[in-house]
Amino acid sequence: MSALSEPSRIQSHDATLTPSSLRQFDFAVINPLVVHERDWRDLPVQALETSPAPARAHRLPQLVALQDLPREAYDDLFDRIRRYRKRGALFFSALMSTRADLDRTACHLRRQLLQRRPGDRRYHWFRYYDPHVFRHLTWLLTPTQLARLLGPLDQWSWFDGQGQSYVLQRPEIATTIDWLELTRAQWSSIDRFADLNRSLRRLSLLAPDWPQDPTHWQWLDDTLRHAQRSGLSSEDQSVLAERAAMHLQDLAGEYWVESFMVLATRRLSDTGGHLDAWRDTEWNILISALRSGHE
């Protein structure tokens, strides 16, 4: 398995967002696929339009110039944030601090939305502004790539559904280009992000004590990558990775992950069906067999 990135590049805090703390940020990003247009149309926004674009301007990410808001507007804005939080949604996908002006910030963020894959001349839409994507970029990208992604931004912050806040400081690395130059291996991980996030949501319910942090997110992505080699259906691959997280020792190494998956795959070929039908008893028997070194 790939080396896990330690220590974490992001800082997490339990601090609650308030109108006062909101004024510390210069810009924010709103995702119109999450926030209704009527709730952001009166704000000082600029659509992050690209060419080509996957949608019309009002459906693209909106950059909000918080620095242009009058002080008295923050209480109303905070009410909107709180209203969306009660629905389990995020009003702001990201909050940013920078010394750059609106045009420079918008220009840079716009350029990052289109990225190329190695050997492919086409541009692909890159949803880095989605906090469920950005949180994984913090461990997937190199410091130089993170510096390119943030560009003129000094800090990128976001909140999760539980109100936990996360902060990434831009690495102090001088960059001469904006393109991330993502590798094939990085694109493979990005393509797994949807499956990774689904598995993380299920683990939060099935194993609430399993740590949800960048090191464990990276480990689970590696485990999903190993599960893809099993030849099982995509649903069984996810179950296999989740059960590895639940039943193996914390951050188990490649030997144990591979052995666990080989044993589970063999037993499934004998019994038929799908892994999500297995009871805890069957998983415990498998773990006992794994530890004893025989089937």
Tens digit of each residue's pLDDT (9 = 90 or more) over 104-157: 999 999 999 999 999 999 999 999 999 999 999 999 999 999 999 999 999 999
On the question of pLDDT at 294 being above 80, the answer is no
Shared domain check, 156 and 24? yes
On the question of pLDDT at 275 being above 80, the answer is yes
Structural domain including 267 reads: 186-292
Q: Is residue 172 part of a domain?
A: yes
On the question of pLDDT at 278 being above 90, the answer is yes
Q: How confident is the model at residue 272 (pLDDT cuts 50, 70, 90)?
A: confident
Shared domain check, 219 and 131? no
Shared domain check, 141 and 190? no
Shared domain check, 94 and 167? yes
Domain count, the chain: 2
Query: What per-residue confidence (pLDDT) applies to 295?
Result: 47
> 138, 164, 182: which is the final residue of a domain?
182
Tell me how far apart the alpha carbons of residues 105 and 153 are, in angstroms, rounded to a whole number.
8
Shared domain check, 79 and 47? yes
pLDDT mean over 263-284: 92
The owner of tokens 């502004």 is 129
Residue predicted with more confidence, 3 or 206: 206
Shared domain check, 15 and 119? yes
Shared domain check, 213 and 136? no
Shared domain check, 176 and 190? no
pLDDT mean over 64-72: 95
> 134, 164, 182: which is the final residue of a domain?
182
Q: How many CB atoms lie within 10 A of CB 92?
A: 27
> 158, 182, 206: which is the final residue of a domain?
182
Shared domain check, 170 and 221? no
On the question of pLDDT at 15 being above 70, the answer is no
Shared domain check, 276 and 206? yes
Q: Is residue 5 part of a domain?
A: no
pLDDT mean over 270-289: 92
Report the percentage of the chain scoring pLDDT > 90.
83
Shared domain check, 201 and 175? no
Q: Is residue 268 part of a domain?
A: yes
pLDDT in tens, 24-51: 999 999 999 999 999 999 999 999 999 8
Q: Is residue 211 part of a domain?
A: yes
Query: What per-residue confidence (pLDDT) applies to 214?
Result: 94
Q: State the average pLDDT for the chain.
A: 93
Q: Is residue 1 part of a domain?
A: no
On the question of pLDDT at 274 being above 90, the answer is yes
On the question of pLDDT at 243 being above 90, the answer is yes
Shared domain check, 271 and 169? no
Q: Is residue 111 part of a domain?
A: yes
Residue predicted with more confidence, 164 or 137: 137
